Amino acid sequence: MRGGPSDDILFFDVVARSASLTEAGRAFGLSVSAVSKRLAQLESRLGVPLVQRTTRRLTLTPEGERYAAGAARLAAQLEELEDSIAGQHADLRGSLHVRSTIGLGRAHIADLVAEFVAQHPAVQIDLELSSVPLNIAGTGFDLDIHVGPLPDSRLTARRLCRNRRIVCAAPEYLRRHPAPRQLSDLERHNCLVLRENDSDYALWRFDEPETALRVTGNLVSNDGDVITRWCLEGRGLIMRSLWQVGPMLRAGTLVQVLPEFSTPSADIYATYTDTPALPRRTRALLDHLVRGLNARIPGGQSPVAT
């Protein structure tokens, strides 16, 4: 790596998106000491510190944040320029850092990401699954895939697939307990409750009529797979997303109840930093996720184009 301004921009764009110097070194194929020396040369040229270094992570200074924002824009524009010259049919290449919620990631995103890399072997994808909400603005992530849009003006949200939460039960449970016909009937049923983050997890929401109904049950968990397994065992009702229970509905191991009462949308979105020129590999992955999720999830049918 030379020390010219254009090289500095591309170098710092990678550093700013890395969690540590070690991660940046892996991206460049260099040692930590080599990356640290290169960063020190850049800071010396600019006359300001850009990064606060610790053994575990990098933290950008205010000047570093400004330089990183400009570097990201210029790096994206450069990549877009090269794509336009090389032609839209040139092989996709480069890396993507993708984040997803655990359940959705395991059920769908991991498979779709693997398919994409098989089709584009020069692309490397680092997929991180986490149950902890994260605003990816200013982080090293290229995409965050989750249920529901994020209200952050620094991010762009693209809907990948339509999705709703529905109330389900196992046939065995319905043989022992008459299926609810009205929302008020839920008071007489054992409702298996998923505890998610800081939300009021005991409220089940319906659109028509607009209702937030507090449910009760003798089993609560913070794990969606556990709640679904209890339901499959006939222990009670659940409200879960179509992305998870769709295969079970098709197999008949779960049955939807109260289908005439619609629920609020819980669509699947990808959010990413708003940049003038989104890399072609990112656009291609987004299109691949749209096609794949809509083929896998009943009731999806979100258009490929933004």
For 216-249, what is each residue's pLDDT tens digit? 999 999 888 999 999 999 999 999 999 999 999 9
In tens, the pLDDT along 9-27 reads 888 888 887 778 887 888 7
> What letter does residue 20 receive in the DSSP assignment?
S
Q: How far apart are CA 267 and CA 264, in angstroms?
A: 9
For 132, phi then psi, to 5°, come to: -90, 125
- pLDDT score of 4: 59
**Amino acid identity at 49:** P
DSSP per-residue string spanning 169-180: E-HHHHHHSPPP
Q: Domains of the chain (ranges plus CATH)?
A: 5-85 (1.10.10.10), 91-158+269-296 (3.40.190.10), 165-257 (3.40.190.10)
The rounded percent of the chain whose pLDDT value lies above 70 is 84
pLDDT at 304: 36
Alpha helices (H) along 87-130: 102-104, 110-119
For the chain, residues with pLDDT lower than 50 are 1-2, 300-306
Contact 289, 176 (CB under 8 A): no
In this predicted structure, what is the pLDDT of residue 300?
Answer: 43
The pLDDT of residue 59 is 84
pLDDT of residue 120: 94
pLDDT of residue 138: 59
| Per-residue confidence (pLDDT) for residue 303, from 0 to 100 | 35
| Cα–Cα distance measured from residue 285 to residue 96, given in angstroms and rounded to the nearest whole number | 9
- Residue 172: per-residue pLDDT: 96
